[in-house]
Amino acid sequence: MYYVIMSSKDIRQNLATEQYLLNQREFDEPLVLFYIQKPCVIVGRNQNVRAEVDLNYAKENQITITRRLSGGGAVYDDLGNLSFSFVVNAEHESFGDFKRFTQPIIDALHEMGAVGAQISGRNDLLIDGKKFSGNAMYTKNKKMYSHGTLMLDVDLNEVSRVLTVSEKKLASKGTKSVRSRVTNLKPYLNEEYQAISTEAFRDRLLLHLFEADTLEEIKEKEYHLTKEDNEAIDRLVSDIYGNDTWIFGEEPKYTIKREEKFKGGLIEANISVEKGRIAALTIYGDYFSQKDTKEIEKRLVGCKYDQESIKEVLSEITVSDYFSNVSKAEFVELLVD
């Protein structure tokens, strides 16, 4: 087995590295990757971002949002989380057999004192009935990766805050995350590990996987990314993981009903969104208007469903002509948080 320690703290860079090594590099043995990232939310391939993430909170707190290739639910990571990924030949594995990859992790945790850690259900790792790891798989061209998270010392307040969506009425056909009670691993580890850093925790797991006492013993098993590798990975970040078309455009078609009482009256907007753009829009309410609101509906169809794009479309329009005593900012905020 070979291993890669990712130096980047950007989830987009790390997911791109994982994809690149899966698709573009051949190894004669399995590969294990370890990565740590700054605050971020990673949604599953089939999820609706807006149904999973408080986008306003994420933006205000500089929490990166991206989408991964694998399915499953949304997860929050920060520097207190360790992510791992096993890249293998799919012909020799059974898709969905998470135990094959998580059992060595469980064994290592038992050695460190977390003796109650166990595999539960399809793809979760639990301790005291609380989740500390979620796992997902992806396969392509006879290769596969199984990746997961390990919550060592994550800010649990942020988990519940950023993965809590507003109470606006949203009907989505995407995969919904199952909200579980979560916990950190650190309180369950032996006393000698209570001050352990995420990096030291990573190294401890690595040594267990390789049955080694020091990193020096296994240095020949480490793969170092080349200049060519990094250039290709940067392109993947630009084209996919840092690209709004991938992050929001992969959302399943959904409808959202937005309603607000303004000084000028009640406005109700029913919005159909497909591939991150407004596919249909109808507006109702008891507001007064000088001009037909159908004009605004037509203008906004095809527009990207975000505040900046909507503001641009409405830049030459006086919104109060269509909705008396309603400002442009208020109307935009009605349509999208």
Q: Enter the tokens of residue 128.
A: 């005291």
Q: Work out the angle between the directed axes of helices 198-210 and 99-111 (0-180°, nearest 10).
A: 110
Let me know whether 113 and 237 are in one domain: yes
Q: How confident is the model at residue 313 (pLDDT cuts 50, 70, 90)?
A: very high
Per-residue confidence (pLDDT) for residue 284, from 0 to 100: 86
Q: Quick one: pLDDT band at residue 319, thresholds 50, 70, 90?
A: very high
Residues with Cβ within 8 Å of 289's Cβ and at least 6 positions away in sequence, in order, are 321, 322, 323, 324
Domain end position, chosen among 247, 281, 305:
247
Has residue 164 got a pLDDT over 80? Answer: no
Structure tokens at 19: 């994809």
Domain finish residue from 247, 263, 297: 247
Q: Give Rg (Cα) of the chain.
A: 23
Distance in angstroms (rounded) separating the CA atoms of residues 184 and 130: 9
Task: Identify whether residues 299 and 210 lie together within a single domain.
Answer: no
* Residue predicted with more confidence, 176 or 287: 287
Distance CA(269)–CA(256), nearest Å, equals 8
> If pLDDT is split at 50, 70 and 90, which confidence band does 200 have?
very high
> Nearest 5°: phi and psi at 3?
-140, 155
Write the CA distances from 10 to 36, 94, 292, integer angstroms: 8, 30, 47
Last residue of a domain, one of 222, 247, 272: 247
Check residues 265 and 40 and name the one with the higher pLDDT.
40
**185 pLDDT above the threshold of 70:** yes
Shared domain check, 227 and 271: no
Are 281 and 170 within one domain? no
As a whole number of angstroms, the distance between CA 165 and CA 169 comes to: 10
Same domain assignment for residues 174 and 129? yes
38 and 73 together in one domain? yes
Give residue 254's pLDDT band: very low, low, confident or very high (50, 70, 90).
Answer: confident
CATH number at residue 324: 3.30.390.50
228, 259: one domain: no
What's the rounded Cα separation, in Å, for the pair 249 and 245?
4
Q: Is there a single domain that holds both residue 45 and residue 133? A: yes
Helix axes 227-236, 11-24, angle to 10 degrees: 110
* pLDDT computed for residue 170 by the predictor: 47
Q: Please check whether residue 291 is in contact with residue 318, taking contact to mean a CB–CB distance below 8 angstroms.
A: no
- Closest Cα to residue 290, out of 312, 264, 262? 264
Are residues 104 and 32 part of one domain?
yes
Q: Confidence band (pLDDT; 50, 70, 90) for 83?
A: very high
Beta-carbon contacts of 77 under 8 Å, excluding residues fewer than 6 positions away, are 11, 37, 39, 40, 41, 42, 83, 149, 154
Statement: residue 189 has pLDDT above 60 = yes
Q: What is the mean pLDDT of residues 161-182?
A: 61
Same domain, 74 and 20: yes
CATH number at residue 59: 3.30.930.10
Is 316 found in the same domain as 200? Answer: no
- The pLDDT confidence band at residue 245, using thresholds 50, 70 and 90, is confident
Mean pLDDT, the chain, whole residue set = 89
The pLDDT assigned to 169 comes to: 39
Domains of the chain: total: 2
Segments forming the whole domain that contains residue 265: 254-335
Q: Specify the DSSP element, H or E, that contains 109.
A: helix 99-111
Cα(150)–Cα(260) distance, integer angstroms: 41
pLDDT above 80: residue 166 = no
pLDDT at 314 over 90: yes
Q: How many residues are there in the chain?
A: 337
Indicate whether 27 and 171 sit together in one domain: yes
